[in-house]
Amino acid sequence: MSLLDAVRHGHCLDNGRRLRPADLLETDSATGDSALHLAAALGRADAVWQLCTAGGSPIVTNAAGLRPLDVASTPLILQILTNAKTGQSYNYLTHL
């Protein structure tokens, strides 16, 4: 299963597979969305945190020119992405 599919279907991202840089660069062929775009839009704070921790970029743009920061669906996700953009760590678990 691809990383994009795992995020789309709500599967855990750490199911024994380490996230590789190539996984983080995978995009949806129709929209240009990265896994981080999908996780941010779908409200998956757990996945957003995991993807940012693995090196996912909160400022990469999709085909519409939107960043994961632009599609963040909750304040918590926006905070995780903002901190990742500025290089600050953020432990979302303490805020659930």
Nearest to 77 by CA among 49, 54, 96, 38: 49
Distance CA 28, CA 35 (A): 8
Tens digits of pLDDT across the chain (96 residues): 788 998 998 887 765 567 788 888 899 999 999 999 999 999 999 999 989 988 889 999 999 999 999 999 999 999 999 998 877 665 655 555
Domain ranges of the chain: 3-95
Question: Which amino acid is located at 23 in the chain?
Answer: D
The CATH number of the domain covering residues in 3-95: 1.25.40.20
- What's the predicted TM-score (pTM) here? 0.85
Q: How many residues does the chain have?
A: 96
The count of other CB atoms within 10 Å of the CB of residue 93 is 9
